[in-house]
Amino acid sequence: MKMNRFFLSISIVFLINFSLSAQLAINERVAALLSKMTLEEKIGQMNQYNGFWDFTGPSPDGGDAKVRYDHLRKGLVGSMLNVRGVKEVRSVQKIAVEESRLGIPLIFGFDLIHGYKTIFPIPLAEAASWDIEAIELSARLAAKEAAVAGINWTFAPMVDITRDARWGRVMEGAGEDPYLGSLVAAARVHGFQGEQLNSPFTIAATAKHFAAYGFAEAGRDYNTVDIGLNTLHNIVLPPFKATVDAGIKTVMNSFNDLNGIPATADTYLQRDILKGEWGFEGFVVSDWGSIREMIDHGYAKDRKHAGELAVLGGSDMDMESSIYINELETLLEENKISLTQIDDAVSRILKVKYELGLFDDPYLYCNEELEKQITGAQEIVNATLDVAKKSIVLLKNKNNILPLKKKGQKIGLIGPLAADKNSPLGNWRIAAENNTAISVLEGMQNYKDNELIHTQGVRLIEKVPAGFHEEVSINTHDKTGFEEAIELARKVDVVVMVLGEYGFQSGEGRSRTQLGLPGLQQELLEKVAQVNPNIVLVVMNGRPLILNWAAENIPALVEAWHLGTQSGNAIAQVLYGDYNPSGKLPMSFPRSVGQLPLYYNHKSTGRPGKEGEDPGSVFWSHYGDEKNSPLFPFGFGLSYTKFEYSKFKLSTNNLNPGGSIKASVEVKNTGAVKGKEVVQLYLQDPYASTTRPVKELKGFQMIELAPGESKLVSFTLSEADLKFFNANQKWIAEPGMFHVFIGSDSSIKEKRSFEFK
């Protein structure tokens, strides 16, 4: 044991020294290269163009390809996005490396959000697994598949905290909680970037969108954000900080203005906090056209002014505005920006390229053999299935209608998403082939000892959208399939209905004001329920939907998100009990759109009232026509077994700085099958220099218990867990009383208390 520790510390010292000296060498190489570059070439490094095929933003004319090729030859492009596949990447890299004066390699960016060709569950779904290792593995394997296709930089993870399901982009993040969000964010960074960035299987990651994009007013994409420092520091920033601590190489700013300043030009965010206080050494890329959009925001008077504001604000690379490349030289001549600022931006960009190994081998990520070998490899497929199962959340299971019996059953499979092989891929899967997901129908067909009969019942969409840019139009008139579905329902033992959102109904630019089941699905569900009440409703979606009627009237509800390539297999294995569901919601599910934004870690208000009790008057913070509480709270998820919590206690009632407290609980599996439970610990600071949330997640553990088995689960709390951004703008733990809650979801009421002195 002692020997091992000795060798371990020697190797840690060795590794630290090694990486320090590697870093020094890189800094020297960057400085040497910088000294050879003309001003034009320097500005070129700060310029990023979209490729010539896919578009992930509004660029109707595609940019002028002739200009772009010419700029590549002159060394006036630092990066390309949306160029993919070894052949294409190589051909573009070749121009930069072999035809430009200094041959500086390009870095190739891509929105690798949840898989490249093999699609993993959408990030919100993965967050529902609460399985940090599985999430890291998902990012690692997605990176591997993309890296061998020429990509060396992903615009992920999106770490925006999201409280408003109207916003379509909630699908891209880890939900509403900064603690879970920070762990997931760090895991994704570790997964994408690995231990060694210059391996052909790892890529640079991007934390986005800096910052507060998830707080777009009314959930409308690209909309204004107005939040105070309290929310910014306590809720929005922690996951970003976690990515910086995890060694993230790049950060993307956001489209929104924040308290009156477009994030792209926000010196407080980008210079003071990110590059200053947090010591971030990588580079900041603008979002698509966000430098130019400052004109529309009414913040920059023209393109040149926008360029000036963005540079001063600390944005290092210009994605698709073509403003840096055209305006920075003049701005420098006019002394509006400084050479030091340009040199700093360029050095940051070059450094990441060195770290990726691109200067040692610009074609490191361009190996056709590896591309063939690794694309769609079994290792990747297996991991997508594994994490897809873990992402499913069981919301209701009355009378144990689930799991389905494996034999002798007649099962009717109904719904527009039951045989859909496209929607489960979700949004953001540009490199995947359409219709490559395993459908629920295919997944269920593997269970051959039941009779499975399928009918669609109703179409969800009018026509398949042409791609990323097109609005999805929903069928609201054609009910021709209803009758067949109702007839089928009459004659089967159990109906499995697969309803929800079409794959492109969530994601960027997909805000919605109505969150019920889209189109005619609700009507179909009600009609089917009239003839056969034994319904298992599987919901596929990229955001929390409003499922009140189903929660009340349908015995079993399974939240299956958009689970990716292996979707149907994962769902079938859960329905048949070959995997006992263990997911927990990473976002609260509302009862009504009118409740939004909705989140468990809200403040108390001066008139909290008590839900369920008659307060005798209207003078408390509530709605006259709806409850305050969500339909399903954050952290909620059932299992095919039951868990009982008991013996909740704290090791002491006093915590001193430097000390710790153990909070423990016994959890017992009182059901009949083995199952996993995510035991969650929440804290409340009931009185402080600023108001504090009624509850905040501060720890969780996933345990697996056999029937009858019990386990003591304990958490260690220390001063660090009590800290927050307080009234004096300090990250600090204030003395006083704290409440601890341990339970199965965020609605837990039972608490123990201690004092921090």
Check if the beta carbon of residue 733 is closer than 8 Å to that of residue 723.
Answer: yes
Smallest separation, CB 287 to ligand NOJ (Å): 5
Query: What distance in Å separates the CA atoms of residue 575 and residue 557, rounded to the nearest whole number?
Result: 11
Instruction: State both tokens at 694.
Output: 């009624």
Residue 288 or 738: the one with the smaller Cβ distance to ligand NOJ is 288
To the nearest whole angstrom, how small is the minimum distance from the Cβ of residue 72 to ligand NOJ?
Answer: 19
C-beta closer to ligand NOJ: residue 282 or 403: 282
Going along 606-723, which residue ranges are E strands?
Answer: 643-650, 654-655, 660-669, 675-684, 696-705, 710-718
Q: How far is the CB of 486 from ligand NOJ (least distance, A)?
A: 43
In the numeric block, the tokens 């009314």 are attached to 218
- Residue with smaller CB distance to ligand NOJ, 426 or 633: 426
Give ∠ CA 736-586-576 in degrees, rounded to 5. Answer: 135
Nearest C-alpha neighbor of 582 from the set 645, 717, 675:
675
Catalytic residue annotation: 287
Q: Which is nearer to ligand NOJ, 33 or 252 (CB)?
A: 252
CA-CA distance, 485 to 483, in Å (whole number)?
Answer: 5
Question: Which distant-in-sequence residues (6+ apart) come within 8 Å of 76 by Cβ?
Answer: 40, 41, 43, 44, 47, 325
User: Which of 289/555 has CB closer to ligand NOJ?
Assistant: 289
CA distance 375 to 743: 42
Q: How many residues are recorded in the chain? A: 757
* The pairing of beta strand 494-500 with beta strand 535-540: parallel
**Start-to-end CA span in the chain (Å):** 38
Give least dist CB 385 to ligand NOJ, A. Answer: 27
DSSP string, 46-111: TEEEE-SS--SS--TT---HHHHHHHHHTT--SEEES--SHHHHHHHHHIIIIISSS-PPPEEEE-
- We find the least distance from the C-beta atom of residue 164 to ligand NOJ, in angstroms, to be 17
Other Cβ atoms closer than 10 A to 66: 8
Question: What tokens appear for 226 in the block?
Answer: 């107005």
503: Cβ–Cβ under 8 A, 6 or more apart, which residues?
A: 420, 422, 423, 424, 425, 426, 427, 542, 562
- Cβ closest to ligand NOJ, residue 207 vs residue 488: 207
Distance of closest approach, residue 51 Cβ to ligand NOJ, in angstroms: 11
204 vs 414 by CB, closer to ligand NOJ: 204
The amino acid sitting at 449 is D
Instruction: Enumerate binding residues for ligand NOJ (CB under 6 A).
Output: 56-57, 81, 111, 155, 208, 287-288, 508
Phi/psi for 487 (5° steps) reads -60, -45
Nearer to ligand NOJ, 224 or 718 (CB): 224
Closer by beta carbon to ligand NOJ, 210 or else 636 = 210
**Closest by alpha carbon to 694, among 600, 622, 612?**
600
The C-alpha atoms of residue 399 and residue 194 are separated, in whole angstroms, by: 46
Nearest CA to 358 out of 48, 151, 72 is that of 151
Nearest residue (beta carbon) to ligand NOJ: 56
How many CB atoms are located within 10 Å of the residue 619 CB?
Answer: 9
Smallest gap from Cβ 288 to ligand NOJ, in A, equals 4
Residue 250 or residue 384: which is nearer to ligand NOJ going by CB? 250
Minimal distance, residue 443 CB to ligand NOJ, in Å:
31
Inter-residue contact 34 to 334 (CB < 8 Å): no
Q: How far is CA 404 from CA 470, 493, 555, in A?
A: 38, 10, 13
**What are 80's two structure tokens?**
């390309």
Q: Which residues contact 113 (CB under 8 A, 6 or more apart)?
A: 122, 123, 154, 155, 156, 158, 172, 428, 429
How far apart CA 82 and CA 72 sit, in angstroms, is 15
Task: State the nearest-atom distance from the C-beta of 323 to ligand NOJ, in Å.
Answer: 16
Decide if 185 contacts 226 (C-beta within 8 A).
no
How many angstroms separate the CA atoms of 355 and 359, rounded?
A: 9
Helix (H) or strand (E) holding 484: helix 482-490
Q: Are 567 and 538 in contact (CB under 8 A)?
A: no
CB 256 within 8 Å of CB 177: no
**From the CB of 280, what's the least distance to ligand NOJ, in Å?**
18
Work out the number of other CB atoms within 10 angstroms of the CB of residue 395. Answer: 23
Rank residues 56 and 746 by Cβ distance to ligand NOJ and give the closer one: 56
For the bound state, the minimum distance from the C-beta of residue 181 to ligand NOJ, rounded and expressed in Å, comes to: 16
* Token digits of residue 91: 């051909």
288 vs 600 by CB, closer to ligand NOJ: 288
